[in-house]
């Protein structure tokens, strides 16, 4: 079972063994006395903060789980030439500098996800593909259910260095 503790100013979820390294987080108990803070123990329910309206930052976060294809530069250049546009013209249409377009085409600059989406939409190409979730090798069933803690990671590093 994970508990919330404060370690060096950061509120983190840790296992019982690691919880001794921090201070328990003060939570407001809704069940007992809503005006009196109590120490958090066991399972906690925390009401998530109210979500603001969708912004560009939210859109960027929603596409963070995508990766850029390897041949993105070639794809951008081929599509631009197929449309009969110069790097300057494409830059104007997308609101980017021509030098940025050239560097992307040469593979010297990886576009962020927002710019990659603009290029995909305008040039009718596919630049972003879903990232696959990587599961660490040797994760026990308990760790998989509760998640890895910092302590688990450090134990793994120590075991690797001892080998």
**For 109-157, how does the pLDDT look when each residue is reduced to its tens digit (9 = 90+)?**
999 999 999 999 999 999 999 876 444 455 555 555 666 677 776 777 7
- Both tokens of residue 104? 């992307």
Residues 25 and 37 in one domain: yes
> What would the pLDDT profile of 82-92 be if each residue is shown by its tens digit?
999 999 999 99
Q: What are phi and psi of 22, to 5 degrees?
A: -130, -175
Q: Where are the beta strands (DSSP E) in the chain?
A: 3-7, 10-14, 23-24, 26-28, 37-39, 66-68, 128-130
pTM across the whole model = 0.45
Nearest to 77 by CA among 111, 101, 94: 101
Q: How far, in Å, CA of 49 to CA of 63, rounded?
A: 21
- Residue 37 lies in domain: 3-46+134-162
- Total number of domains in the chain: 2
**For tokens 């328990």, what's the residue?**
24
Same domain, 71 and 113: yes
């Amino acid at each position: 079972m994970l508990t919330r503790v404060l370690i060096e100013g950061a509120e983190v979820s840790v296992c019982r063994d690691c919880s001794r390294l921090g201070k328990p987080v003060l939570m407001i108990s809704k069940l007992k006395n809503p005006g009196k803070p109590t120490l958090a123990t066991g399972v906690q329910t925390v009401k998530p903060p109210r979500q603001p309206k969708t912004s560009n930052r939210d859109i960027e976060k929603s596409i963070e789980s995508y990766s850029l294809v390897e041949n993105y530069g070639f794809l951008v250049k081929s599509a631009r030439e197929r449309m009969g546009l110069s790097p300057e013209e494409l830059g104007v249409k997308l609101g980017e500098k021509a030098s940025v377009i050239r560097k992307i085409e040469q593979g010297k600059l990886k576009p962020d996800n927002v710019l990659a989406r603009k290029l995909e939409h305008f040039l009718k190409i596919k630049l972003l593909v879903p990232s696959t979730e990587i599961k660490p090798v040797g994760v026990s069933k308990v760790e998989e259910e509760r998640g890895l803690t910092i302590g688990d990671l450090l134990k793994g590093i120590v075991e690797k260095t001892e080998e």
